[in-house]
């Protein structure tokens, strides 16, 4: 009983409704707590990586990022967009708006709209609070017992798993893919963001298909986002549903070629 009271003192169990899809989820962490964890993980990842000196790509990443961020209409995120110099084909957005792209994924994106497709999808995982949902599932009781401060101080023994739950992929040695339902929600919301931001939504299925076909060895990012027939069919239908939004947006089309 005591533990029960303690958990409620630190964590407010809330049911959140996604404004874009209407889906509901139970989350034990607050968005502020998730953002604090996201910031911590971001610092740790950046301290181990080398930032790219490619000014042109940095500028494009920043431009696409800001447009997608604005299109997300989310409050309280402290956005940052970093370009990491690495052959790895990967990208992620942590809770609170910390985004990293690896230079390795740029050629596969082909153009700005390809980047916007990846950005929209990754940002959607963060704004839909999929990390909070995963933390709730994986750590529900433990996190309540040990407390958030213990995690932030690095005292929680499952810290790499926690960071993986945030969406930082395998950067800290642990892989924890998002669920299929979360992936399809990120696809759907990502397309909405893309259309609002003014990037041609047709470029999303085009990117995933090309990326899947061109990759000889399966990069981690692709293995967690396999362009299955089912996913491509759903994406195609969703493109149709956001065309109206795209028509009334600023329309950057496919943007600059990378």
Q: Distance of alpha carbon 248 from its chain centroid, rounded?
A: 26
Catalytic position from the list 32, 70, 112, 122: 122
Q: Which is nearer to Zn ion, 11 or 121 (CB)?
A: 121
Query: Whose CA is closest to 13, among 39, 38, 33?
Result: 33
Could you tell me the CA-to-CA distances from 37 to 9, 41, 48, 84, 96 in Å, in that order? 19, 6, 17, 20, 9
CB of 149 to Zn ion, least distance (A): 30
Helix axis angle for 112-127 and 180-197, nearest 10°, is 130
By beta carbon distance, the residue nearest Zn ion is 186
Footprint on this chain of Zn ion (rule: CB under 5 A): 183, 186
Q: Which is nearer to Zn ion, 54 or 184 (CB)?
A: 184
Question: Contact, 125 vs 178, CB < 8 A?
Answer: yes
Q: Which is nearer to Zn ion, 90 or 249 (CB)?
A: 90
Could you tell me the CA-to-CA distances from 106 to 140, 192, 206, 243 in Å, in that order? 37, 22, 15, 25
Q: Is 122 a catalytic residue?
A: yes
Q: Which is nearer to Zn ion, 34 or 183 (CB)?
A: 183
Query: Whose CA is closest to 253, among 206, 197, 209, 208?
Result: 197
DSSP, res 157: T
CB of 248 to Zn ion, least distance (A): 27
> Rounded to whole angstroms, how far apart are CA atoms 214 and 35?
35
Q: Distance of alpha carbon 134 from its chain centroid, rounded?
A: 13
CB of 190 to Zn ion, least distance (A): 8
- Written as six digits, the tokens of 178 are 């998002």
Residue for token digits 């990120």?
186
Question: Contact, 195 vs 242, CB < 8 A?
Answer: yes
Tell me the catalytic residues. 122
């Amino acid at each position: 009983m005591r533990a029960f009271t303690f958990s409620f003192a630190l964590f407010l169990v809330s049911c959140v409704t996604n404004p874009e899809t209407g889906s509901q989820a139970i989350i034990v962490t607050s968005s502020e707590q998730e953002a604090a964890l996201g910031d911590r993980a971001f610092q740790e990842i950046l301290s181990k990586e080398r930032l790219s000196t490619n000014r042109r790509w940095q500028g494009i990443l920043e431009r696409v990022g800001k447009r997608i961020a604005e299109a997300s209409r989310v409050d309280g995120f402290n956005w940052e967009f970093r370009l990491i110099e690495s052959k790895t084909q990967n990208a992620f957005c942590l809770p609170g708006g910390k985004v990293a792209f690896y230079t390795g994924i740029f050629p596969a994106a082909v153009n700005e709209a390809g980047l916007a497709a990846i950005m929209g999808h990754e940002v959607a995982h963060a704004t839909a609070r999929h990390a909070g949902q995963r933390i709730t599932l994986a750590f529900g009781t433990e996190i309540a017992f040990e407390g958030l401060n213990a995690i932030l101080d690095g005292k929680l023994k499952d810290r790499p798993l926690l960071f993986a739950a945030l969406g930082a992929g395998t950067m800290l040695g642990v892989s924890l893919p998002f669920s299929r339902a979360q992936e399809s929600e990120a696809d759907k919301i990502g397309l909405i963001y893309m259309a609002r931001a003014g990037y041609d939504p047709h470029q999303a299925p085009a990117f995933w298909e090309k990326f899947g076909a061109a990759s000889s060895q399966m990069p981690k990012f692709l293995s967690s986002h396999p362009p299955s027939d089912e996913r491509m069919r759903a994406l195609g239908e969703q493109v149709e549903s956001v065309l109206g939004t795209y028509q009334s947006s600023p329309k950057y089309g496919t943007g600059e070629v990378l």
